[in-house]
Structure 1
Amino acid sequence: MKWNDALNDFQLYLKIERGLSPNSIANYTFDIQKLIGFLEKNSISVSPIVIEHTTLQQFIYEVSKTLNARSQARIISGLRSFFGYLVFEDYRLINPLDHIESPKIGRKLPDTLSIKDINNLIEAIELTKEYNGVRIGERDRTILETLYSCGMRVSELTNLKISDLFFEEGFIKVTGKGDKQRFVPIGTSTQKYINIYKDEVRSKINVQKEYKDTLFLNNRGKQLSRAMIFTMIKRLAEKIDLNKTISPHTFRHSFATHLLENGADLRAIQLMLGHESITTTEIYMHVDRSHLKEVLLKFHPRK
């Protein structure tokens, strides 16, 4: 794979799936083009598929001579996203930026939705809306309910199988990063919406053979793409004039934050999210500290 081809694919991903502004995409592009220029200047012939972290360290050391810590961190973050995209698309096995630390400049907290925001987004869906005879409104409601109630990644949702539903036990089986599987509890109301979609909408779709077991389908009987879900959520946010930049991942953040605020154990949240390390889950401790005072007053012996 050539650098320009990889960059073009990454730009499309940033625009469609992450919904970034032209300025943000231009910043990512500038960082990668800087790396390409460094490689050309030093006659280093290596593709984005096989470049190693040692070469990237040389590049970062070079640019760090003229940049402050925040600018260095931005470039490292941009390159980490670029190579993370290549890993996600199975072009690479590992992200070479995993071995490179960013300068410490503070941690950005994840965006979250309030319960009211989530209700407004779901209520904005036209349940009777059809496309080529498929009630996509009913499907879209079920998608948002599932994203929020189970804290799934968008790729986990698009790959969810009918055979992954264990409603009698109250769980669904989720296949996450690295094909690692976990069982996530699912509430009765979300089970109800999935059954309505499955029995009244999906059953009327002419399902393609290879997607017989895939739960969420488009009107052509094929698996939904991540981009379709990004676009659906973006349009709903515009419809209700939601002054936030959101994505499917925002529902995952909100799932964890609301559980934590209502007293859920951090270890339990880690298991439901499928985080390898609890330090990843701990970021939600910084989202809203208002409940911490309540916990102390309720449980500490010397209030």
Structure 2
Amino acid sequence: MSDKFYYDHLRNIDNTLDNNDRLRAFVQIYSSAKINGQHYVHFDGKENLIQIYTPSHKLHYYSSCFLLKQKYTDTPINTVSRQAQQLRRFLDFLEFWNIDLLQVDTFTVVVSFVSYLRLLKSLRATPNRAIEWSLLKQLPLHERAKHFGKVSSIGLNLEGIMVKDRFEDFSYNTISGFVETACNYLVFLKKETHELADIDLTSIPVKQRAITTTISGTTGRKTKVMVTNVHAILSEASFSLPNASSDLIQPLSEEVMTEEDVNNFMSLIPSEDIQTRLLFYILKSFGIRRAEARNLLFVSKNLPKDFYLWDINKAQEWVKNEMECDLSYDNTLKAWVCAVVKREVSNFQSQNKTVRPRLIPNYFSQQELTNLLLEHIKERQLVMEETRQEHDYLFYSTSNNSKGEAITGGTIYARYRSVISGSEKVDFYLRFSPHSFRHFFATHLIRIKRKLIYDVSRWLGHRDEKTTRTIYLHYLPGLDNLPSDNKVGDMAATFKNGGKE
């Protein structure tokens, strides 16, 4: 590539909160940058091999080994050919941004790859002309990408109804395939190469999938394997299924953690890892989204310089009464509340879905949250001094190469997987993700705390009560006599009235 762009620049753009602003920034770079060709696919008919070559006509060794492995695991040649075309796009992307896979957040990389694909033409060179890719001097963007934000995408469909056209040349399913192949390639590099064995893939979301094998087909039992959660990656890139709308919202069908499951998960977190304990305590207690959790602010300039040396009682009083943070203690409610707002600032990796500001009361242990928050603030103060970082985000990175910086989009996934890794219940908790704590919050408040669906909907940040009612249809109170919590029974009403009885 003749123009030099690097991961730090990519990360800064990808951190932009607004999806349109992010795409506009990418369009500006991709449309003006000069390149020295792209990777291309070569098919060797004699050996029946598919290989990928660099723009300078050198064999790209690792990607060709990846394709060779697919062939020798009985993957149909047409599938291998499709994977080759998908993979060369990922290699182009890595080269454009000069990405060193050992020095980056791989989740940021694959999420940004989605935006890259949305802007490209879907043209494909025929096999005998594939080398023409190596001669390109500019990225092949489609016309709507070049004019993004300047021309309306609203038009009439065949029935004469005004609709919004899809922005991309590639379909949602096609881009899903690109991302899946890219992630499989990263796994291959980590497992099969010595040079790249230290790639950190813990931030890439995964899910459990049941597959049928020859043996399982005979026994009737399906084999469960871990695969990349491509849908989560595309969602993080603010790329949704066509015609996605509230009308298509379906009742929650996935398994929901019980309070015992959540408590068992919390017990797996090492007692000395205060930040992770606080992070997941907040997720379960307030039901906020990952993007909302990593955007929580703490005004550090008001923190006393010797706070970490304070007596615990004095420190607790400061945290409850003087601390400026999105988490605050309401003395009328005698409870912690969490303020969630949409901030139009550069921030981590995905568009925050927060529509209206909301305050969420804590219905779990107030003292436990006080203790966790107090210890976290003390640790945060020491880390900020050590690393000389300056920002007001509540949560910070503990990784060696980014210690003290605000956490990124993959951090919460990585910490979840780190907590369950090696535990006896790893298979059970692999069914869930950090988002599962949001479902726990909603179902627990509806079924156990017996909170009004209207209140739960507001606390979740849904656009309307209908959305909440549809998703949690199976969890709405019925004729069954489930336990309720009388001790906090009137907290919602008091809170709704601004603290007035």
Q: Same fold (TM over 0.5)?
A: yes
- Which of 375, 381, 397 is the equivalent residue of 1:218? 397
**8 A contact 2:355–2:461 mirrored in 1:** no
CA drift of 1:249 comes to 1.0
- Which of 157, 160, 169 is the equivalent residue of 2:293? 157
CA drift of 1:280 comes to 2.1
SS of residue in 2 equivalent to 1:214: coil
**8 A contact 2:107–2:410 mirrored in 1:** yes
Partner of 1:196: 375
CA drift of 1:165 comes to 2.5
CA drift of 1:147 comes to 0.7
What TM-score results when the alignment is normalised by the length of structure 2?
0.41
Q: Is 1:167 aligned with 2:167?
A: no
**8 A contact 1:110–1:253 mirrored in 2:** no
**8 A contact 2:269–2:276 mirrored in 1:** yes
After superposition, the Cα gap between the structure-2 partners of 1:110 and 1:267, relative to the gap in structure 1 and judged at 3 Å, is farther
Unaligned stretches of 5+ residues in structure 1: 20-24, 64-77, 88-94, 129-136, 299-303
Partner of 1:71: none
Alpha-carbon distance in 2 for matches of 1:8, 1:247: 28
User: What are the equivalent positions in structure 2 for 1:27-176 lying under 5 Å apart?
Assistant: 37=122, 45-47=143-145, 50=148, 52=153, 53-55=164-166, 82=234, 84-87=235-238, 99=243, 107=251, 109-128=253-272, 137-162=273-298, 163-169=325-331, 170-176=336-342
CA drift of 1:141 comes to 0.9
Q: Is 1:292 aligned with 2:478?
A: yes
After superposition, the Cα gap between the structure-2 partners of 1:81 and 1:159, relative to the gap in structure 1 and judged at 3 Å, is closer
Alpha-carbon distance in 2 for matches of 1:164, 1:105: 30
Counterpart residue identity of residue 46, structure 1: R
Task: Using the aligned pairs only, state the percent identity.
Answer: 20
After superposition, the Cα gap between the structure-2 partners of 1:80 and 1:285, relative to the gap in structure 1 and judged at 3 Å, is closer
**8 A contact 1:39–1:45 mirrored in 2:** no
SS of residue in 2 equivalent to 1:223: coil
CA drift of 1:81 comes to 7.4
More helix by share: 1
- Which of 416, 419, 426 is the equivalent residue of 1:233? 416
Alpha-carbon distance in 2 for matches of 1:249, 1:191: 23
CA drift of 1:55 comes to 4.5
What TM-score results when the alignment is normalised by the length of structure 1?
0.63
In the alignment of these two chains, the number of paired residues is 247
**8 A contact 2:121–2:169 mirrored in 1:** no
Counterpart residue identity of residue 234, structure 1: R
**8 A contact 1:153–1:249 mirrored in 2:** yes
Partner of 1:73: none
After superposition, the Cα gap between the structure-2 partners of 1:261 and 1:36, relative to the gap in structure 1 and judged at 3 Å, is farther
CA drift of 1:286 comes to 2.9
Alpha-carbon distance in 2 for matches of 1:80, 1:154: 12
After superposition, the Cα gap between the structure-2 partners of 1:147 and 1:183, relative to the gap in structure 1 and judged at 3 Å, is same
**8 A contact 1:110–1:287 mirrored in 2:** no
After superposition, the Cα gap between the structure-2 partners of 1:139 and 1:271, relative to the gap in structure 1 and judged at 3 Å, is same
Greater C-alpha Rg: 2
More strand by share: 2
**CA RMSD across the alignment:** 4.6
Partner of 1:259: 445
**8 A contact 1:257–1:287 mirrored in 2:** no
Alpha-carbon distance in 2 for matches of 1:182, 1:265: 16
Counterpart residue identity of residue 173, structure 1: A
Partner of 1:184: 360
